[in-house]
Amino acid sequence: MMQGDIQATRAGLQAVRRKIQIAEKGHRLLRLKRDVLILELIAIAKRSRQSERALGALIGSARETLAVAKMMEGSLGLVIVSISIEEMPEIRAGTRNVMGMRLPVFTATGVRKELARRGYGLIGTTSVIDEAAEAYEDLTEAIIRHAEILAAIQILTAEILRLKRRVNALEFRVIPGLYAVRDAIALRRDEMEREEHSRIFWVKKRNASP
C-alpha cells in the first residue's frame, strides 16, 4: 500500500513503526470513546422508553381532559380560553458534554403557569379549563424533555456510527496495512543486506585472486 511512498530504509521503517504506534493508540481511544458513547446511548434509550411511556399516558389524560373541557365549555369556549394566553413559553437550547460530544439540553420557561397567569379570568370560567390547561402544561413539559432525549439519541447514534466506521477502518484496514508495509520494508532491508554481503564477498574474492 505505502510501499511506493516509503523508502525501504531504516528511517522509513521507523516512520512506519511510529504510524503503527499512533494508529494503535488512536484505535484504542476511539474504541474506548465508542464504548462509552454506547453505554450513554443505552442509558438514554432506557430513559427514552420511560419518557415515551409517560408521554403516552400524558397524551391520553390530556385528550380526556380536553374532551371533557369541550363537553363542558364547548370548542368555542376553549377558543376564547386559548386566545387568552399572553405569555408564550420559551425554550432555550444549551449543551452538556459527554466524552467531547455536545448533547442538547432544553430549558423551558413559562410552560407551567400559575392559575392567575394563564390569561383567563377565574370568575367567568370553570375548573375543567384548569384541568385541561394543567394537563397540556404537563404534556408540553414532557414533550420538551422527550425532544431533548430524542435529539441526544440522534446525535449519539450518528457519532457512534462514525466512530464504528473509523475503528473498523483502523482495525481492519489501516493497521494491517501498516504492518504489511513494515514487514515489506523489513524484508526488503534484509534482502538489501544479503545483496550487500554477497557483493562484498565477491569483490573481496576477486581482489584476493592473482
Partner 1 sequence: MNDRSAMGLRSGRGNWVNTGAPGPTGTIYTCTRLRIRARQLIPRGDYLRMIRMSVPQIARFIGEHGYAREIHIFPGSRPDIDRIEVALARNLAASFREVRELTTGNLKTLTDWYLHRWDIVNVMILLRGKHKELPADRIREILVPAGDLDETALGTLLAAGSFGEVIGGLTAWRLYPVLVKECQPPRQSCLFASLENRLWQQYYTDLIRNCRSGIPGGALFLDSLRLEIDITNFRNLLRLRAGAVPADPGDQMIAGGNIPVAELAALSRIEDRDEFVSAFRKFRLRPLLVESYRTLHPGPASSPGEAEDYIASRWAERKRPLHEMEMAVTRVRLMRLGALSKRHPFSILPVILYLERKKYEVANIRAIVRGVGDGIGSEKIQQYVVI
Q: How far apart are CA 135 and CA 118, in angstroms?
A: 13
Q: Indicate the residue among 94 and 124 with the shorter CB distance to partner 1.
A: 124
Instruction: Indicate whether 57 belongs to the interface with partner 1 (CB under 8 A).
Output: no
Beta strands in 25-169 (DSSP E): 90-98, 101-109
Kindly state the DSSP code that residue 85 receives in the 8-state scheme: -
Buried b vs exposed e over 145-170: b needs ≥16 C-beta within 10 Å?
A: bbbbbeebbebbeebbeebeebbeeb
The answer to whether residue 80 forms part of the interface with partner 1 (CB under 8 A) is: yes
Q: Which residues contact 40 (CB under 8 A, 6 or more apart)?
A: 98, 99, 156
Residues 6+ apart with CB under 8 A from 54: 142
Q: Which is nearer to partner 1, 83 or 192 (CB)?
A: 83
Which CB atom, from 9 or from 109, has the smaller least distance to partner 1?
109
| C-beta closer to partner 1: residue 51 or 65 | 65
Termini Cα distance of the chain? 49
Question: Between residues 29 and 122, which has the closer beta carbon with respect to partner 1?
Answer: 122
Min dist. Cβ of residue 85 to partner 1 (A): 9
Stretch that binds partner 1, among 30-38, 41-49, 66-74, 91-99 (CB under 8 A): 66-74
Residue 207 one-letter amino acid: N
- Contact region with partner 1 (CB under 8 A), list: 45-53, 63-71, 97-105, 177-185: 63-71
Residues that bind partner 1 (rule: CB under 8 A) add up to a total of 30
Q: Is 176 in the site for partner 1 (CB under 8 A)?
A: no
Taking residue 198's Cβ as centre, other Cβ atoms within 10 Å add up to: 10
Residue selected from 32, 67, 93, 158 as contacting partner 1 according to rule CB under 8 A? 67
The answer to the question of residue 123 lying near partner 1 (CB under 8 A) is yes
Question: Where on the chain is the footprint of partner 1 (CB under 8 A)?
Answer: 67-68, 70-72, 74-76, 79-80, 83-84, 86, 114-124, 126-128, 130-131, 134
